[in-house]
Amino acid sequence: MSLRWSLVIPVKTLVAAKTRLAAATGPHRTRLAVAVACDTVTAALACPPVARVIVVTADPAAAGPLAALGADVVEDPDRGLNTALRTGAAHAARLAPGDAVGALQADLPALRPAELATALAAAAEFDQAFVPDALDVGTTFYGVRPGRPFLPRFGGESRARHLAGGAKELCLEGIDSLRRDVDTPDDLRAALALGLGRHTAAVVAELWPGSG
């Protein structure tokens, strides 16, 4: 029987979100951040192995739209990214102690449910596993099997820290949309080439008319 997953997605307060996109997006920056998170959550909820998505945020402007999509929103204790993820994982364990728990970055606007499912199936074979970002520096997904310690090491050069912590690196073909997080205009253009979710696509159409 395949594992069911609870996925924890941390969402920053919008004033702090996507600051490296500020020059390119201007007044659309906060709208873009919400749209990207909405597309990430939408794709995760559409992935068959995912039983629930838990969003951890302190920003009501993000919490409302994400809850409307079907995410379970919990308050961010505002003590850093990994503390937020552990808070969400503890909530997941209370809701469904028999499910695997994963952490997913919130900035994956091209995410495909089938590609996420491929990664989750591979992760289910290991006590802890992760997917590196497209630059092989950061991490876009980290997950553990039911009952295993949840020890996320996100932030900066997290790929090396997850490796050092004993997590299995998932080097899989055909999961480009899961590896393409968006922090810069070049990242956003790369995600656009993969195919954006509808929320992000609507904002990008205003930013770059004719880009679709």
Annotated binding site for phosphoenolpyruvate: 139, 155, 158
Neighbouring CB atoms inside 10 A of 146's CB total 16
Concatenating the DSSP letter of every residue in 50-115 gives: EEEEEEEES-HHHHHHHHHHT-EEEE--SS-HHHHHHHHHHHHHHH-TTSEEEEE-S--TT--HHH
Residue numbering of the annotated binding site: 139, 155, 158
Helix (H) or strand (E) holding 24: helix 22-25
Q: Contact at 8 Å (CB) between 180 and 110?
A: yes
Could you give the CA distance from residue 58 to residue 63 in angstroms, rounded to a whole number? 8
